[in-house]
Amino acid sequence: MIAVSSAPSPEILARTLSLCPKCLRRIPAFYTPGNAAGEVLLHKTCPEHGVFRTPVWSGEPDFLSWYTRKPLLPLYSRGHEGRGCPYECGLCREHRQNSCCVLLEITQNCDLNCPLCFASAGGEHQDPSLDELGGLLEGIAAQAGKPILQLSGGEPATRNDLPDIIRLAKKKGFPFIQLNTNGLRLGAEEHYADALAEAGLSVVYLQFDALKESSLLAIRGRNCLEVKRAAVRAALDACLPVVLVATVVPGVNDGELGELLNLALAGGSGVRGLHLQPAAYFGRYPEELSARRMTLAELMRSLAEQSAGLIDAADFRPNSGEHELCAFSALYSRTPEGGLKLLRSKKSCCAPDGRRDAENERPRDGAEQCKAFTTLNWRHPREIAEAAGQDDFGRILAESGLDLRFTVSAMAFQDVLSLDLDRLQQCCVHVADKKGALVPFCAYNMTGLDGQALYRDVRGTGLRS
């Protein structure tokens, strides 16, 4: 297990383990103040390849006020046969969080071929059959119970049998199914959204990074704004809730956060949230984009600054299931005037001063709370209204203003420079690999400086140190 100690010296804020970005060997690492006020770097030294320092935090909220979690207890008994973490995932005795969300990559084919793609998707690949997917789904259920299932890829909608896959997942007992999609087919093909809704899809997790043509060209390689707008309309018309998901690349679309927020709010109550992912540099990406990193702290402040007073940076809290350096979220209610009112979760992981109450947090609570947060808040208002007629529980749900809720959230993925094994071992977002093992998302997508992948069988771009 990785222990995070409190600051043993002024220069070391916390210790962990990481990987050498060049040879991928496991090496000690520590967090240390950078040159700028409030900046924190992850510092690590490979005996063969030297020192690597990467910014992971910047400014308010102060790093140590945000990062207070104590280690959670192990949950799994599976041991290692060889090199251990992070080379032998599946969930093992080092891992300290259950699955909240499991990604199932149903294809490696893609119809967009973005310059930036963690999965390095594209080319022509043989898709797994329905039978093979059925076996993987059973394996996920056996290991993780009934997590949120995210159908991912590649682009899942390149498969014509996507509605059948959704039906299969429902039949296997997965209650909440997200579709991670670029929206091209959803926006272009009439009645496609209806077919997905009819099959039992729960929510469209829609890639929507920017409104400016230059940003879309840089991140997606084409100006796909209109088809993405059409995808939102089609999903909402089919009563499919939508969450807009933006990859945020510093110097490209980090000035469009306010516009994305406005777009989400203008979409009506069927748009349930805005989810932001600062770009991490694994898989495929243009090398020139990797020079700067956006930290979660910077993202919180940028969102607040661009929101015209709708959001305060202090609204955000670490998530229950993820490590504090991995994610934040805030829950709001839409107001009749088009604004947002903050709803503070009493059941959240935070003590009254906003810090995490880790000592009182049971290990299993985090992933369960994350699941509850998602499945409760990312549902369509019509479903909530229909529940009102079913029983008193449904009536309470409907009368509580659940239909007006709106989430703003973010997740910072780790690449080989920012990797912290303590974060990896508290991850609740897992990818089911081809053999059905559940691998933390960032381990699964990790690529070294030369593009060598830790798990995937495709090479990434590689990264400058």
Residues that bind another protein (CB under 8 A): 331, 343, 345-347, 372-373, 375-376, 387, 389-397, 400, 402
3-state SS class at 46:
strand
**Whole-Å CA distances, 448 to 194, 217, 443, 457:** 42, 26, 11, 13
Nearer to another protein, 30 or 332 (CB): 332
3-state SS class at 438:
strand
- Contact call for residues 237 and 268 (beta carbons, < 8 A): no
Smallest separation (angstroms) from another protein to the CB of 309: 23
Tokens of 244: 């807009």
Name residue 84's amino acid: G
Nearer to another protein, 314 or 396 (CB): 396
The residue assigned the tokens 């989430």 is: 407
CA torsion through residues 96, 98, 100, 102, sign: positive
Nearer to another protein, 113 or 345 (CB): 345
Of the candidates 284, 295, 296, 294, the residue with the CA atom closest to the CA atom of residue 463: 284
Smallest separation (angstroms) from another protein to the CB of 22: 45
Q: Give dist(CA 241, CA 380) in Å, integer.
A: 5
Nearer to another protein, 28 or 393 (CB): 393
Smallest separation (angstroms) from another protein to the CB of 383: 12
Smallest separation (angstroms) from another protein to the CB of 395: 6
Nearer to another protein, 63 or 176 (CB): 176
* Pairing relationship of beta strands 50-57 and 101-105 according to DSSP bridges: unpaired
The residue assigned the tokens 């297990």 is: 1
Smallest separation (angstroms) from another protein to the CB of 385: 13
Q: Give dist(CA 218, CA 253) in Å, integer.
A: 9
Smallest separation (angstroms) from another protein to the CB of 388: 9
Nearer to another protein, 292 or 347 (CB): 347
Q: Alpha-carbon Rg of the chain, whole angstroms?
A: 21
Smallest separation (angstroms) from another protein to the CB of 317: 12
CA torsion through residues 79, 85, 91, 94, sign: positive
Nearer to another protein, 10 or 389 (CB): 389
Q: Give dist(CA 328, CA 221) in Å, integer.
A: 29
